[in-house]
Chain A
Amino acid sequence: MIGFATVLMFLFLGRITGISGIVGGVVKPEKEQVGWRLIFILSLMVGGALYPMLWGRDLPVELNGSWELYVIAGLIVGFGTRTGSGCTSGHGICGLSRFSPRSMVATVTFIVTAVVTHTIFSLVTG
């Protein structure tokens, strides 16, 4: 489904479905490019809202950290995706599918960093 969604956007509209890029384009509005991004973001959220109705179970969101953790992580994620021009969707799916060397390097880098971060964090916090 995620794959179909990205292909749909690219073949019909020529757009990369990179969530950080789409959100970034709303925070820092470019002329005439805000409308489609807002529609996409709202549709994404509607997808999550429809899930419980269609699948008959709650949206599986479990959190095991404090709110401070999520705020700090959110700041780093927002800043980092702008610095690195993409996140899991833009680099990890669209970029890899285009065989983009930048995206391959970025994807390997963020997965390895995430594994290392999580491992160290788990060891420190027990």
Chain B
Amino acid sequence: MEEQTSALPLSNILVIVASGVLFGLGLSVSEMVNPVRVLGFLNVLGPWDPTLIFVMGGALTVAIPGFQYAKLMHKPFLSIQFTLPGKNDLDKKLILGAVLFGVGWGLAGICPGPSLVALNSLDGRILGFVLAMLAGIFIHDRVFPG
């Protein structure tokens, strides 16, 4: 994928589209796009709705064998290399970021993927969330460049 974009091969585009559509449908079918449902899952002390555990469990049931199989491959089928996050150490930034993300997720019940899918609901509050999320990313990268 390194030298592309200007000339992204059709095969690669098809994989990206298939994966994106499948992901979007998956978030919809599983109701991860429904903030009230997500908050019901986070509500462990009240009437708890555990169904989203099966969403994550279901995804992991497929993803774990897939990602582990990748360890046996030298390179992906349609690209020159696996692109993995460079960091391997547990640092304060990771924890701080996860805490912040958890606070935002716990307040609204929306995380980045579902927010984009939920734009289809045409509710202005979702658009507000997405624009604010983009602003949050932008501010972060301004404050901590590189």
Contacts and interface: CB of A to CB of B under 8 A. Distances in A.
A13 B18 contact: no
Interface string A89-115: 101111011111110011101111111
Contacts of B21: 43-44, 46-47, 50
Grouping DSSP codes into helix (H, G, I), strand (E, B) and loop, the A interface class, with mixed when no group exceeds half, is: helix
A16 to B, nearest CB: 7
A21 B20 CA distance: 14
Given A83-B93, A87-B112, A77 B133 contact: yes
Interface in A62-87: 62-67, 69-87
A11 B73 contact: yes
Contacts of A41: 20, 116
Interface in B91-141: 93-113, 115-121, 123-126, 128-141
Interface string B40-59: 00111110000000011011
Given A45-B120, A74-B132, A75-B132, A114 B76 contact: no
Q: Which of B26, B34, B69, B141 has the most CB of A within 10 A?
A: B26
Contacts of B101: 76-77, 80-81, 84, 87, 110, 113
Contacts of B126: 61, 63, 70
A72 B132 contact: yes
Interface of B: 1-6, 8, 12-13, 15-37, 39, 42-46, 55-56, 58-64, 66-70, 73, 75-85, 87-90, 93-113, 115-121, 123-126, 128-141, 144
Given A82-B141, A92-B56, A114-B106, 14 more contacts: A2-B27, A2-B30, A13-B16, A23-B134, A27-B138, A40-B19, A54-B25, A63-B125, A69-B107, A71-B129, A80-B103, A80-B104, A86-B85, A97-B64
For the complex of A and B, 7 pairs with smallest distance between CB atoms: A47-B24, A84-B97, A78-B136, A43-B20, A113-B102, A3-B62, A80-B100
